[in-house]
A and B are shown apart, each in its own frame.
Chain A
């Protein structure tokens, strides 16, 4: 049987702290007439933590996901979270590059993964599978006049080179989607700068500094918001913004909606339908 299905790999944070991201994805997929089923019985990708202390276990966890997705007939495994994406696509790359390692791990873990499922970042999926024309055809409330800074963070684009879908230094996929919604995108310097990821929990003095620089640059360039596609970035930019803005002397709030929330708004959804009520820094209502 040939793999032909599209399925989501939501990841842990989309089921809890970033459930508004999942809500907006499901809504947007529905409007774009794409099935938004999640793959069955997926497990945590291990994020940065497992990889930091046990790299073989990290590969095993993601091999399990890839092997199950393949068994379930999935062709495109769409991954919204940058961290999950990085783990899955790196494992895919690593195992397909080294068939001996793949055989060895398959045998040990009891799977038969052959490499027939393609791990796709959600930005890649929107631009290269769904297509910008289809996205703009669904726009009923264009985001005219909205100035948007597109923020990619680290892990969306810094994957093994053969697996990448966008340029690492200055990616544009999210910018293209945002433009298709009618908004104005800006050039800025912090597109791919790190937000600090889990240092937000462990050493928050570092993450405050990093987040501050990102907000500051967007704010100086008069962006109305920073749009993101990573739940960790969104949490870090949004949750403690008051404190960060005070430290950096940034006057106005800088909301950080998910790209799929902006899509939903442009597609005519009510803000609650795409989970906007869950963002700490609220967006100005569209005129």
Chain B
């Protein structure tokens, strides 16, 4: 099997072959207990080109993007960046995310902010529950937040010029 160009696409400047499997990334990861494959193993899979295997892990979705691994890596591999590359790659290849609960949040958030240029937190939480088909998830948070006026029913005012700009940009790329 050939080594893929997984990590070399566009924005990334990573080289997973620099990894010598010291596992510092895994030992410092705060969410490792939820992962099915450890971060240093993800890097190993990626450098071996075992694409299907690595794109089908829960690990890439569970990663909290805290960058603890990236700052600990003795070879300066941006492991967090690679996790994001892998998520994006999985989506591009039409692979169903192994943690839909996490993916659906990212998707809901991204689509929401493209509407007005700013996040509408209440709508994101509601829409997320709908997509997850779990209408009561986090529902106890809402009254608490309302009580302190921390959730707004009204969406934020649309950012001037944003919608047209983003529409044009997305059209160009499609």
| Contacts from A to B (Cβ < 8 Å) | 12-13, 15-19, 41-44, 46-57, 59-61, 64, 94, 101, 108-110, 154-155, 158, 168-169, 192-194, 196-199, 201-204, 206, 209-210, 239-240, 278, 280
Quick check: A193 and B30 within 8 Å, CB to CB? yes
**Cα distance A48–B62 in the bound complex, in angstroms:** 12
- Summed over the interface, the residue pairs from A and B with CB atoms below 8 Å come to a total of 152
Contact A41 B160 (CB under 8 A): yes
Proximity bits, B135-174, A CB within 8 Å = 1, else 0: 0001001001100111110001001111001001100110
> B107 within 8 Å of A by Cβ?
yes
Contact B101 A168 (CB under 8 A): no
Residues of B within 8 A of A41 (CB): 159-162
**Across the interface, do B150 and A278 meet the contact criterion of CB distance under 8 Å?**
yes
**Size bracket of the B interface:** 35 or more
**Is B71 at the interface (CB under 8 A from chain A)?**
yes
Contacts of A56 in B (CB 8 A): 10-11, 173
B interface majority secondary structure: helix
Interface membership of B56, Cβ < 8 A: no
Q: How far is the CB of B23 from chain A (nearest CB, A)?
A: 18
Contact for B31 among A42, A51, A199, CB less than 8 A: A199
Q: Is the interface of A mostly helix, strand, loop or mixed?
A: helix
Contact residue among B30, B67, B110, B172 (Cβ-Cβ distance under 8 Å from A46): B110
Contact A202 B71 (CB under 8 A): no
A109 cross-chain contacts in B, Cβ below 8 A: 165, 169
The reply on B102 being an interface residue by CB < 8 A is yes
Closest 5 CB pairs of A and B: A158-B67, A49-B109, A154-B66, A43-B117, A194-B66
A17-B150 in contact given A12-B119, A54-B88, A196-B64 (Cβ < 8 Å): yes
